[in-house]
Amino acid sequence: MLTRLPWWLAALVLLGIWAAISALASSDYRVILAAVARGLGVTLSVSLVAYTASLLLGLGLGLFRTSPLRVAREAATFYVELVRGLPMLVILYYIAFVGAPALAAALNAALKPLIDRGLATPVETRNLGFAARAVIALTLGYSAFIAEIFRAGIESVDRGQVEAALALGLSRGQVMRTIVLPQATRNVLPALANEFIAIIKDSALVSALGVQDITQLGKVYAASTFKFFETYNAVAFFYLCLTVSLSLLVRAMERRLKAGGSR
Amino acid sequence: MSAFIEIRGARRVFRASGERRGMADTIALDGIDLDVETGEVVVIIGPSGSGKSTLLRVVNRLERLDEGEIRIEGELVTSPRADLRRLREEVGMVFQSFNLFSHLCVLDNLTLAPRLVRGLTRGEAETRALSILKRVGLADKAARYPRELSGGQQQRAAIARALAMEPKALLFDEPTSALDPEMIREVLDVMKGLAAEGMTMLVVSHEMGFAREAADRVVFMDEGRVVESGSPEELFGHPREARTRAFLQHVL
Ligand SMILES: Nc1ncnc2c1ncn2[C@@H]1O[C@H](COP(=O)(O)OP(=O)(O)OP(=O)(O)O)[C@@H](O)[C@H]1O
Ligand SMILES: [Mg+2]
């Protein structure tokens, strides 16, 4: 039992205990943790919304990537390569400062007849909050990674089963829905879950836009108190709580899938 | 009356492309004429690469034809406007590697297509599936997943899956060649049963015992052509062509 205990986990737990003791022993830490914790909601909601949206967009792109239609395939590949070739921070700046004004302009152009008759008010870029822009940027970025995961999953499904389903008279859509996607999704579940962990970490990038997530609150707090060490310890503590527990879940899931559980 | 399956001048060429660019094209089918009457059992034999699988695959349009025509019950199935769904409802296929749906239990493997394609309710499909499973001796395996079955059981489940669509004809592509010898018989017994009940069958198989017992006709293919065909006694006992004799000597 003791020899099978993962040392990395033991070390992390010890680190957590040390953090807890220091927090209890010092009023400083209590204040800092409380200050940073106010950003937890933003971090979590940005991550969750962006992740959900990128799952949907990524699934669509993944289907396009494996489509028998050449246009669809090429278009999706173009998008994936373009987005994966850019740093996430650059995508964020693009969406925030180029994409958002363009989106507002496009909306205003589309609504022009209504606006001219006074039936609608023009959309202003500043009404599109930075948190929303950050979510859009993360979604666009992560959908490219997730598309590749879905593509790999779809390609991992046995061709013979696809042919068997076609030979039974199922349409291509039915084969995709009842044979390919259930197996593909199951095969890539751990990889998809890992993307959620990654998006939680990358959600820290929204602090570059001033969105008040835990990183941003930590940054502001540290700058005003000069307690850099304690503040970033607190910030790291929150991220690690989220990411390590999720990564343990992923491991458990992988083990269950490997054991060949039927569903 | 015309034959159930009519194949006329079937030709299929695989172009050398992609990683095989620069190599010669493969003529998988080089002008095949073949009829299968309703209720007839036709066994196809021939060396590896002679086009046997390709022939079965063009019949239910998993593979397209470059030239020639195939009619099923008089209906042209090789036209681009053919109703593939209807064709595949009527003609089932059994594969060498079983190809059961690995994420579904045996019962769901059998009910999926009848529900989605034939429009049966779950209840109707399950009643039908259970009676077919009983027929192939798998009544107690309905809740099992394919990986929990032996090879012979998997192939019987795959035959049951094809039967659940109540097809008018079945195509078998080397249904026993992935099986251990002790499991071959249980699959062949199911196939003999179907043949005896009058199922129209086109079977690629080198099981001479099955061919002798169940086949109305044996067809020998080589290099994408039908070299000769005849009753099992004729073809195995008195082959006319030298190539047939050489092949039979090789496999017997
Ligand atoms: N999808 C494909 N692409 C390219 N060539 C193919 C394809 N399918 C079959 N061929 C070629 O066509 C020829 C006939 O193949 P086929 O599978 O029909 O032979 P077979 O008689 O079934 O052989 P075996 O007994 O080995 O199963 C072979 O030379 C094969 O390499
Ligand atoms: Mg073959």
d(CA B53, CA B60): 11
d(CA A62, CA A56): 10
DSSP state of A158: -
Pairs across A and B, CB distance < 8 A: 63
Per-residue model confidence as pLDDT tens digits over A42-65? 999 999 999 999 999 999 999 999
| Residues pairing with B91 in the sheet | B169
Percent of chain B with pLDDT over 70: 97
How far does residue B174's CA lie from ligand 2's centre (Å)? 7
Residues B94 and B130: beta-carbon distance below 8 Å: no
Where do the domains of chain A lie?
30-261
**A161 three-state secondary structure:** helix
A183 contacts B62? CB cut-off 8 A: no
Amino acid at A206: V
The domain defined by A30-261 folds into: MetI-like fold (1.10.3720)
Ligand 1 mutation target, pool B11, B48, B56, most atoms within 8 A of CB: B48
Per-residue model confidence as pLDDT tens digits over B67-114? 999 999 999 998 888 888 888 999 999 999 999 999 999 999 999 999
d(CA A37, CA A35): 6
Substitution target in B56, B59, B112 with the highest count of A β-carbons within 10 Å is B112
Q: Is pLDDT of A262 > 50?
A: no
Judge if the beta carbon of residue B57 lies within 6 A of ligand 1: no
**In the block, residue with structure tokens 């307690």:** A227
| Helices and strands counted in chain B (H then E) | 9, 10
Q: Is pLDDT of B21 > 80?
A: no
Judge if the beta carbon of residue B54 lies within 6 A of ligand 1: yes
| DSSP per-residue codes, A60-108 | HHHHHHT-S-HHHHHHHHHHHHHHHTS-HHHHHHHIIIIIHHHHHHHHH
Q: Is pLDDT of A261 > 60?
A: no
Nearest CA to ligand 1 atom 24: B48
Half-sphere exposure of A90 (CA within 13 A, CB side): 6
Per-residue model confidence (pLDDT) at position A110: 87
How far does residue B27's CA lie from ligand 1's centre (Å)? 9
- The least confident of A8-22, A163-177, B236-250 is A8-22
* Nearest atom of ligand 1 to the alpha carbon of B52: 21
**Any CB–CB contact under 8 A between A165 and chain B?**
yes
> For chain B, how are helix, strand and coil distributed in percent, rounded to 5?
40, 25, 35
User: If pLDDT is split at 50, 70 and 90, which confidence band does B182 have?
Assistant: confident
Q: Is pLDDT of A1 > 70?
A: no
User: If pLDDT is split at 50, 70 and 90, which confidence band does B20 have?
Assistant: low
Angle between helix A27-37 and helix A214-225 axes, rounded to 10 deg: 140
d(CA A35, CA A27): 12
Question: In Å, what is the CA distance from B113 to each residue of B101, B127, B133?
Answer: 11, 14, 15
**Any CB–CB contact under 8 A between B191 and chain A?**
no
Nearest residue to B226 (alpha-carbon basis) of B95, B35, B87, B83: B35
Judge if the beta carbon of residue B96 lies within 6 A of ligand 1: no
User: If pLDDT is split at 50, 70 and 90, which confidence band does A254 have?
Assistant: confident
User: If pLDDT is split at 50, 70 and 90, which confidence band does A120 have?
Assistant: confident
**Any CB–CB contact under 8 A between A167 and chain B?**
yes
Of A167, A179, A186, the CB nearest to B88: A167
Percent of chain B with pLDDT over 90: 87
**Any CB–CB contact under 8 A between B145 and chain A?**
yes
